[in-house]
Structure 1
Amino acid sequence: MKKIAVIGLGYVGLPLAALCAKKGFSVVGLESRREVVDVLASGDSHIKDAAVERLLAEANSSGNFYPTAVIEEIAGCEIFLICVSTPVDGDREPNLQPLIGALESISPYVKRGDLIVIESTVFPGTCEQIVLPILEQGTGMKAGTDFQLAHCPERVNLGDLFWTTENIPRVVGAITESGARQAAEFYASILGGQLFDVREIRKNLRPKFALVPDGYSVKQIPLGSVTMMRSIRDAEAVKAMENTVRDVNIAFVNELAKISDVLDLDVVDIIDGMATKPFGKGPFFPGVGVGGHCIAVDPEWLKTASKKAGYMPEIIQLSRMTNNGMPGYTVSLLQDALNDRGYPVKGTRVALLGVAYKRNVDDLRESPFYGVRELLEKKGAVLAVYDSWVESENTVSSLVSALSGAKAILIVTDHDDVVSELHEQDLRKHGIEVVIDGRNCLDAERVINQGVLYRGIGRRS
């Protein structure tokens, strides 16, 4: 069985390395953070995710997974899976330095016949214009002839117990047709799904709906399938564009939420009503902001690539402005609600609930929490920060402590345990007078019946 090097053991690399080990490959996981290597070497996961923890336990039982911070340990590997972070910087410009550093590190260990796959998110053209020259210079060999270079964009959905690294359909592109085939066959070997050519997809998804005896069925791509794109650029664009579509749609429902506020509508009920139509829509829901390494980042990569090619994508730009402005909009709802109850923001204690960018994960990347906190601090609010999944930003140790003495609650993250505990609380006994539900996750009537002023994002008061 081939020996695999997984470079970067974060949210993408760790479950991928564990899956490869579970499937019988000998896996060296290279991670620069020694404290992470120590945790993994002890058999534990540094990522708080049930699916990742289960997969890691299976990998450890196989005896095939070896985490290390020592670069020399990747010698002899035949497949290199690059899973390092590719964030955006303070100016919202793509930062390729982690990827460049990883490529320069592995180059001395790449041999003829090896396969290198970039899983890290990149903008279209990165693999050919940046990755390929670095690898050819570092190895002294020719990509596509001496070794193969492919891109398989990660699709990790952290916190999802159904869609995991083991079954999410993947797309693969490479600089040669044979490289695409080699990479696709490798991914099919760990996912166990079918291989498709991208030109087969539309045919395989039609007709989308079919009548069956008890209703109708919906055609889907099979679990764990691998689709070969016709170019490595197309593969790069799949990730950037699929998350940009989500970003644009979320921006649009955030706009609908603002319209609903001024027209006294309940956008959540409206979206649920729209969901009864089984074709032609999302649904997407509004909120305090988007975060994570996909929706909040991938559109920036696509925008940068488009700008460099001479076209400013105005819809993407407007969507980014809309979603980036949602923390400010949410804080304005809080300010107005506090004014209605006779309180200024300055000097008022606010329970700020949630730091992670989405529920039931401990991932802080691009979380709207930071924008909300900064705005509230500038306005002089006294903040009690609590997240049951993330401790690093907490100023109190429990939900009850956060509520104690607070006049308002602002929800950034709708963790299941926090929402459940909130529903059990008598908010007025804690002195709460205002709730700003940034995720539209609470039972609004229950809150209002306690005599508390409730405001959601686009929800009827």
Structure 2
Amino acid sequence: MYDICVIGGCGHVGLPLSITLADRGKKVIVYDISTEAVHTVRQGTMPFHEEGAAGLLQKVLADGTLELSDSPAVISQSKIVIMIIGTPVDEHLNPNFQVMVDSVNQCMPYFRNGQTLILRSTVYPGISERVNDWLREAGLTMNVCFCPERILEGKAMTELYSLPQIISSFTPAGLQECRDLFGLLTTELVEVQPTEAELAKLFTNVWRYIKFAVANQFYMIANDYNLDFYKVYHAVTHRYDRARDLPKAGFAAGPCLFKDAMQLAAFNNGNFYLGHSAMLVNEGLPNYIVQKLKVKYLLNKMTVGILGMAFKGNSDDIRESLSYKLRKILQVHAGSVLSADPYVTDDSLLPQAEVIAQADILIIATPHKQYQGLDIPLNKVTVDIWNVLGRGGLI
């Protein structure tokens, strides 16, 4: 018998949570359909980069508080089931509910009365209630809860303990289970209704997405007038608290922000102009960079090197990375395109030194810490939208 089963537990959300709960003494079983991922984690190897996770993973495996399985039968052997299944968007930017429907139906034969089911990933508002209804229609009496994760990828092992946890449930018993469970990680719990929790998660991600869009729009405006955005940025933010939350310009991507902006738009019947505008700005930044380079240089005769293919700094995660979108556009307009990344494993990537040496133009697309102080000749054209080198971001 297990205290907790984490469905989808070998991923970026599920595995850090499983490790931390196991470290708190809970008997945790990770269930994942990827046999390869299960085998990797069972051997004590993290399948992705997460600061501080590797050593703790090996500890909880040795302690016997964390186990792994690719069989759904372990769901029935668990008191609490945490499902790491979100709501993606389809090619028309509409929420795709079928993923959740299929996941719940696949698990239905293994659910049992009295269990607590906690939905952890971002879902379309109202999905938690629908899951609650589906289970009751199937004759199951379970506590359905929605407790969204809010960790920054790469910082999970710190933020799972430091951030307040949002909890919600359709039953008092479920809410108490959430208090007891997440109270192991933090003493600060925020209790709301399930739909409020769903919106809280969407609002959090979309707010960040809009802030990035503001910075990127400002960057384009300054650059169009041949002004360095980062000189203006310093003037705006230096010791001025009301502008402290203005982020730097750069690629705003990954598996959540764009998707969640579109989910919120769909939830509000398509009436979310601010979200759609943010999408156009953020998704348009790679093309903006290429077009500016075309105006200034004979791009079709030049080799462009891209440094950084992950969607965020100090990560190996390439999901929805705009660096790949940039590369696709450049493959149409540039003479040739080379790319490198110190974290990402990809057969198309070259050693960093080779990319720097061969490129006529270098674009720092991801703000990896390794790029700070990078020795790039001053006479080599460099596009540094993040200002990682400290030379400014002017194209």
TM-score, normalising length from structure 1? 0.80
Partner Cα separation in structure 1 for residue 200 and residue 168 of structure 2: 10
Q: 1:17 to 1:162 in 2, by over 3 A?
A: closer
Q: 1:405 to 1:324 in 2, by over 3 A?
A: same
Q: 1:124 to 1:281 in 2, by over 3 A?
A: farther
1:39-438 equivalences under 5 Å are 39-129=40-130, 131-138=131-138, 140-141=139-140, 146-160=141-155, 163-189=158-184, 191=185, 193-194=186-187, 225-229=188-192, 231-275=193-237, 276-279=239-242, 281-287=244-250, 289-307=251-269, 312-337=271-296, 339=297, 344-392=298-346, 394-396=348-350, 398-420=351-373, 423-426=374-377, 428=379, 433-438=380-385
- Tell me which amino acid in the other structure corresponds to 1:90: E
Q: 1:85 to 1:62 in 2, by over 3 A?
A: farther
- Tell me which amino acid in the other structure corresponds to 1:426: P
- Tell me which amino acid in the other structure corresponds to 1:312: N
Q: 1:305 offset after TM fit, Å? A: 1.1
Q: Which has the larger radius of gyration?
A: 1
- Tell me which amino acid in the other structure corresponds to 2:316: D
Q: 1:369 to 1:43 in 2, by over 3 A?
A: same
SS at match of 1:5: strand
Q: 1:105 offset after TM fit, Å? A: 2.6
Q: 1:410 to 1:57 in 2, by over 3 A?
A: same
Q: 1:124 offset after TM fit, Å? A: 1.1
Q: 1:125 to 1:46 in 2, by over 3 A?
A: same
Unaligned runs of 5+ in 2: none
Q: 1:75 offset after TM fit, Å? A: 2.4
Deviations 1:158-182 (A, max 9, x none): 1237743232221112223443233
Q: Which stretch of the first structure deviates more once superposed, 387-396 or 2-11?
A: 387-396
Q: 1:268 offset after TM fit, Å? A: 2.2
- Tell me which amino acid in the other structure corresponds to 2:377: D
SS at match of 1:261: helix
The count of aligned residue pairs is 393
Partner of 1:12: 13
Q: 1:264 offset after TM fit, Å? A: 4.2
> Residue 75 of structure 2 contacts residue 111 of structure 2 at CA under 8 Å; is this kept in 1?
no
Q: 1:106 offset after TM fit, Å? A: 2.4
Q: 1:184 to 1:302 in 2, by over 3 A?
A: farther
Deviations 1:254-285 (A, max 9, x none): 12112222344433233333331224651312
Q: 1:237 to 1:119 in 2, by over 3 A?
A: same
Unaligned runs of 5+ in 1: 195-224, 445-454
Deviations 1:39-85 (A, max 9, x none): 01111110112233233233223211111111112322010001135
